[in-house]
Chain A
Amino acid sequence: MKKIIISLIILFSLTGCFNYKELNDYAIVTGVAIDKNKGKYEVSALISNAPKTSNDNSSIESQIVVYSGSGESIYEAFKNVGLISPKELYLNSFSVLIISEEVAKDGLKNAIDFFLRYSSSRNKFSVIISKDDKAKDILKITTHLANFPSQGIIDNLNSTSNLQGSITNMNFDELVSKILRSGIEPVINSIKIEGDIKKGSSTENLETSSPKAYVKLGGFAIFKNDKLVDWADKDESLGINMINNEISESYLTVDYDDGYVVVDTTSFSSDVKVSVKNNKPIIDINLSGEAKIYEIKGDINLKKESLMKELEDKYNKLIKEKVKKAINLAVKNKTDIFGFGLKFYQNYPKFYEKVKENWNDNLGDIKINIKSNLIIKNKVSSKNSLEVTDEK
């Protein structure tokens, strides 16, 4: 008994409670924005667990607050945010990191180094680049369908990356590996505010059914050696995602006569094969999958097999066009955003070692064959477009 008491005393006096912290002593950060302000980093933290002041005691809601601080380093900036925040910042579970255009142009390496080293951060947060607007303003725009802005952005990224071809959810781990690896450069989706920033960041924005401001996802920011060099438009973004095999659903409008046919993929896969012939690199891109007709305008009879064939050809041609556009963008900016170099490194390491130095500059000289074999499966109930027909 004596032994037990002594060991208990030792146990509780020499150990225990070393990282004890009540949850409500933390200011939980759900989104972080990095801006440049007079040559210094300005870090903004979106804190989502501020209790709402209300008379009704029983309903428990939270409201958001954004604190900003600036410093030479990201770490210093965070410490300066800590001077404002009454509670300790909790950085373990933030879900989105917004990097402003300015910071991205200067290079991502410095900006993300802190998050890579910070021991308890989760590394699964999404990274997004703010176009035109300040990153911290994006954190402030309230949204109807999510409890706090960062959640709105994440939900939007997750749903649209499945439903629209031009969006991909880039998480931090992936970004870091793309920056650190040779032969592949990252692309990150952009985000933009539409509307009045001031009105959008107040609760007023939530009280109307037509919000005064909202954030909208846009095309990719193209990076070269961790520095932002160009923006891709919607078509180019679609092409990039097609090559990178990041597409599950993506619609295209095929023009036909006066009308059009809207086709959306139900499955899509791309297969990039690299080979070396006569010391020259060759890339084969094979696109395959199935698509479905969603909308028709004009005099189009889907019962005709020849017409379906024609549509399919046009559709595949259209896809090839998008892919070419994306490749042209990469060639123009001399950045290998598709990871072709990485593929050569994996399959032909000796060859890649030789061309490594000028790989990005010589991107335009590579022979790229694109094959698109998508099939349109027409299982729509109505074979014709809607029109009045005489009953016979």
Chain B
Amino acid sequence: MKLDNNIDKIFEVINEMNGKSGDIVTRIIEKNKNRIGYIFLESVSSDDKISDFLNKSIINIDKKKVFDSFYNLVKNSIFSSNMKSCDTYEDMFFYLASGFTVIVVDGNTKAIVIETKNKLDRGVTESTSETIIRGPKDSFGENHNMNLGLIRKRIKDYNLWFTDTNIGTRTKTKVTVAYIKDIADKKRVEKIIDSLNKINIDGILDSGYIRELIEKEQKCIFPKMLSTERPDQACSALLNGKIVILVENSPFVLILPTTLVDYIHSPEDNYQKPFNVTFNRLIRLMCFYIALLFPALYIALMTYNQEILPDQLLISLAVQRDGVPFPTAIEIVIFVLTFEVLREADVHVPSFSGGAMSIVGALILGDAAVAAGIVSPIVIIVVATTSLSELVFYDVDIIDAIREWRILFIIAATFFGIIGVMISFFIFVAKLASLECLGVPYLTPFSPLKLKNLKDSVIRLSRKDLKNRPEYLTDNIKRMGDNYEENNN
């Protein structure tokens, strides 16, 4: 709908459009027998900015300056670094909601828009979901520009490109695809932008929406896009040739393509000594298998394949099991579910009742359950070890994926023993091998085996040995100059 050329009319239309919402503020100032009107939403705009810059500049408009129209005079007299113009009511409201102030003058069907945003976010805070010991501590926030800035200030290369799109017919959320132009694979960037443009939805509230909408195989449990709230993690991915998607109002950015081995890596891995990193990654890999298989193996060993256990352990287990009324599998399921309930409650519980919950969790469910003869102590050890192992991973999606497969393994072990576990493990590996993200197989670099890329997979060699980027991500693989040694000597 085109703008009218009368201030009163415009104000009336805007008010009607938004149901005379309470936060619409309008004002008309008369200057040299011309009227200047401005509108802003006080909920998203900063009063200070408006009175400091807009009001002052309107009052100080000097008639002597030579402009062909009053509109241009106003436009050139306002102190504002970010000025735009619009000529439809829809655009106008988009700007108003984004925290801009709209200035209209009589007799002109164009409106001047200046930025007067109120800061409605937390600023740069410390990362809460991915805490590390050594390394930068800042985290992405809800402010889109701030997020872009956190990347931009780390990579000061003109090849770092941001491609914006607005998605959501109602939310009009800004989604930015960030990539380093001469490293990232062009086809992948195009593919992502293409699939982003195809999205037709009323609203995007978080990067989780985007991930769900552009992922092809919806049924796949394993996450195929790493999400992180750490700018350094995002930048390291960009430098490797990956592509980062930032979504307005979401502190979690998406990194793709992602492979399984990325979940074994931690942001900290870039800042520690290679040997320690390798050790930590081996621990994480071990935890991955423990979290997947431990309860299933326990069931299989306890109910089918007891001959594998050494006799001392066998007797100790048998005595512990004595008097427990449930079959081993039921025992495990009861406790695995109990832990899931605990975890679910823990996520949402306010911090002041955390103490009460830990008492209930540790004392009542742990100790009392054994004393009451509902479960055997070893089951608590098994479930506790399993749960502890899955918490090693900072990405909640991989934790959930492991949990779902664990339940499948438990079912297989319950009915078919160790053979069931083995067969379902084959299925598990086959399933993982069948996945791919933007043309990169999920198990890269193990399957297909890429010896060069094993240098930074489960093991990490020192930076001197990691001169190249992974070639499955980019053609421009040179990361470090060949004359590295010479420069240092």
- B-binding residues in A (CB < 8 A): 12, 15-17, 19-24, 26, 28, 30, 48-49, 51, 57-58, 60-62, 90, 92-95, 120, 122, 147-148, 151
A57 contacts across to B, CB distance below 8 A: 371, 373
Q: A62 to B311, alpha carbons, bound, how many Å?
A: 14
What are 18 sample pairs from A and B whose C-beta atoms fall under 8 A apart? A12-B415, A16-B416, A21-B304, A22-B303, A23-B317, A23-B328, A28-B315, A28-B318, A49-B318, A49-B319, A51-B319, A51-B322, A58-B370, A90-B306, A92-B306, A93-B314, A147-B315, A151-B312
C-alpha spacing A253/B192, complex, angstroms? 86
Q: Cβ of A22 and Cβ of B302 under 8 Å apart?
A: yes
**Given known A-B contacts A22-B328, A24-B322, A24-B324, A16 and B312 have beta carbons under 8 A apart:** no
Bound together, the chains give a CA A120 to CA B307 distance in angstroms of 8
Residues of B within 8 A of A61 (CB): 319
| Closest residue of B by beta carbon distance from A61 | B319
Question: A22-B327, A147-B312 provided; 17 other pairs, C-beta below 8 A?
Answer: A19-B417, A20-B304, A20-B417, A23-B318, A24-B321, A24-B322, A26-B318, A28-B311, A57-B371, A60-B322, A90-B306, A92-B306, A93-B310, A93-B314, A94-B311, A95-B311, A151-B312
- Chain B residues, CB < 8 A from A120: 307
Q: Within the complex, what minimum Cβ distance (angstroms) separates B147 from chain A?
A: 42
The residue on B at minimum CB distance from A47 is B315
Nearest chain A CB to B411 CB, angstrom units: 10
From B302, B370, B415, contact of A16 by CB (8 A): B415
Q: Are B309 and A93 in contact (CB under 8 A)?
A: yes
Name the prevailing secondary structure of the B interface residues. helix
A90 to chain B, nearest CB (A): 7
Cβ A49 vs Cβ B303 within 8 A: no
- How far, in whole Å, are A23 and B376 apart by their CA atoms in the complex? 12
Tell me the complex Cα distance, A122–B302, Å: 17
Nearest CB of chain A from residue B400's CB, rounded to whole Å? 22
Contacts of A94 in B (CB 8 A): 311
Taking a contact as CB atoms under 8 Å apart, the answer to whether A17 and B415 are in contact is yes
List chain B residues, Cβ under 8 A from A122: 307
> How far apart sit A199 and B165, CA to CA, in the bound complex (Å)?
89
Contact B324–A23 (Cβ < 8 Å): no
Per-position binary interface string of chain B over residues 288-304, scored 1 when its CB falls under 8 Å from any chain A CB and 0 otherwise: 00000000000000111
A21 to B318, CA, bound (A): 12
Contacts of A30 in B (CB 8 A): 311, 315
Given A17-B415, A23-B318, do A60 and B377 touch, yes or no (CB 8 Å)? yes
- Report whether A60 and B319 are in contact in the complex, using a CB–CB cutoff of 8 Å: yes
Residues of B within 8 Å of A62, CB to CB, are: 315, 319
- Find out whether the CB atom of B311 lies under 8 angstroms from the CB atom of A22: no
For residue A139, give the distance in angstroms from its CB to the closest CB of chain B.
15
- Leading 5 A-B pairs by shortest Cβ distance: A24-B321, A93-B311, A16-B415, A49-B318, A92-B307
- A5 CB to closest chain B CB (Å) equals 15
Partner of B303, one of A23, A51, A95, A148: A23
Complex Cα spacing A62 to B314, Å: 12
Chain A residue with the shortest CB-CB distance to B377? A60
Q: List residues of chain B with CB within 8 A of the CB of A90.
A: 306
Residues of A within 8 A of B314 (CB): 23, 28, 93
Chain A residue at minimal CB-CB distance from B309? A93
CB of B474 closer than 8 Å to a CB of A: no
A326 to B: closest C-beta gap in Å = 34
Decide yes or no whether B108 CB sits under 8 A from chain A. no
8 Å CB contact of A20 from B303, B312, B317, B321: B303
Is B320 at the interface (CB under 8 A from chain A)?
yes
Inter-chain contacts of B321 with A (CB < 8 A): 22-24
> Which A residues are in CB contact (< 8 Å) with B448?
none
CB distance from B429 to the nearest CB of A (A): 20
Task: Please name all residues of chain A whose beta carbon is closer than 8 Å to the beta carbon of B312 when the two chains form the complex.
Answer: 147, 151
CA distance A51 to B320 in the complex (A): 9
CB-CB contacts below 8 Å: B424-465 with A: none
Q: Is B323 an interface residue (CB 8 A)?
A: yes
Smallest beta-carbon distance A61→chain B, Å: 7
B344 to chain A, nearest CB (A): 28
| Cα A120 to Cα B416 with chains together (Å) | 19
Which residues of the partner chain A approach B373 to less than 8 Å between Cβ atoms? 57
In the assembled complex, how far is the CB of residue A194 from the closest CB belonging to chain B, in whole angstroms? 26
A51 / chain B contacts, CB cutoff of 8 Å: 319, 322-323
B306 touches A26 (CB 8 A): yes
Whole-angstrom distance from the CB of B364 to the nearest CB of chain A? Answer: 15
Which has the most chain A C-beta neighbours within 10 Å: B318, B323, B324, B373? Answer: B318
Q: Which residues from A are CB-within-8-Å of B306?
A: 21, 23, 26, 90, 92-93
* Identity of the chain B residue whose Cβ is nearest the Cβ of A91 in the assembled complex: B307
Q: Are A60 and B320 in contact (CB under 8 A)?
A: yes
Q: Which of B40-96 contact A (CB under 8 A)?
A: none
CA distance A24 to B416 in the complex (A): 19
> Which of A22, A28, A92, A95 has the most C-beta atoms of chain B within 10 angstroms of its own C-beta?
A22
Complex Cα spacing A62 to B322, Å:
10
B327 / chain A contacts, CB cutoff of 8 Å: 22
CA distance A22 to B309 in the complex (A): 14
Minimum Cβ distance to chain A for residue B230 (Å): 40
Chain A residues whose CB sits within 8 angstroms of the CB of B311 once the complex forms: 28, 30, 93-95
Tell me the nearest residue of chain A to B307, going by C-beta. Answer: A92
With a 10 A CB-CB cut-off, give which of A23, A90, A92 has the most chain B CB atoms: A23
Chain B residue nearest to A63 (CB atoms) is B319
Residue on B with the closest CB to A90?
A: B306
Distance between A149 CB and nearest chain B CB, rounded to angstroms: 13
In the complex, chain A residues whose CB is within 8 Å of the CB of B309: 93
Report the Cα distance A133→B392, complex, angstroms.
Answer: 58
- Complexed CA–CA distance, A147 and B322 (Å): 17
Instruction: Name the B residues within 8 Å of A23 (CB-CB).
Output: 302-303, 306, 314, 317-318, 321, 328
Q: Which residues in B have their C-beta under 8 angstroms from that of A19?
A: 304, 417
Residues on the A chain within 8 Å of B417, using CB? 19-20
| A12 to B315 CA separation, bound complex (whole angstroms) | 31
Bound: A158/B320 CA distance, A:
28
Across the interface, which residues of A come within 8 angstroms of B310, CB to CB?
A: 93
Kindly state the separation between the CA atoms of A93 and B314 in the bound complex, as whole angstroms. Answer: 9
Closest to B301 in A: A23
Q: Which residue of A lies closest to B320 (CB)?
A: A60
Residues of B within 8 Å of A20, CB to CB, are 303-304, 417
- CA distance in complex: A22, B310 (Å): 17
Question: What are the residues of chain A within 8 A of B303 when measuring CB–CB?
Answer: 20-23
CB distance from A20 to the nearest CB of B (A): 6
Q: Within 8 Å CB of B415, what residues of A?
A: 12, 15-17
Interface residues of B in 228-263 (CB under 8 A from A): none
Separation in Å of the B367 CB from the closest CB of chain A? 8
Residues of A within 8 A of B307 (CB): 92-93, 120, 122
A12 to B416 Cα, complex, angstroms: 9
| CB of A352, distance to nearest CB on chain B (Å) | 39
B318-A24 in contact (CB<8A) = yes
How far does the alpha carbon of A230 sit from the alpha carbon of B302 in the complex, in Å? 45
Instruction: Give the distance in Å from the alpha carbon of A15 to the alpha carbon of B415 in the complex.
Output: 9
**Max chain A Cβ within 10 angstroms of own Cβ: one of B303, B319, B371:** B319
Q: Min CB distance, A110 to chain B, in Å? A: 26
Residue of B310, B317, B327, B415 with highest tally of chain A CB at under 10 A = B415
Chain A residue at minimal CB-CB distance from B317: A23
Q: B377: which A residues are within 8 A, CB to CB?
A: 60
- Note all chain B residues with C-beta closer than 8 A to A22: 302-303, 321, 327-328
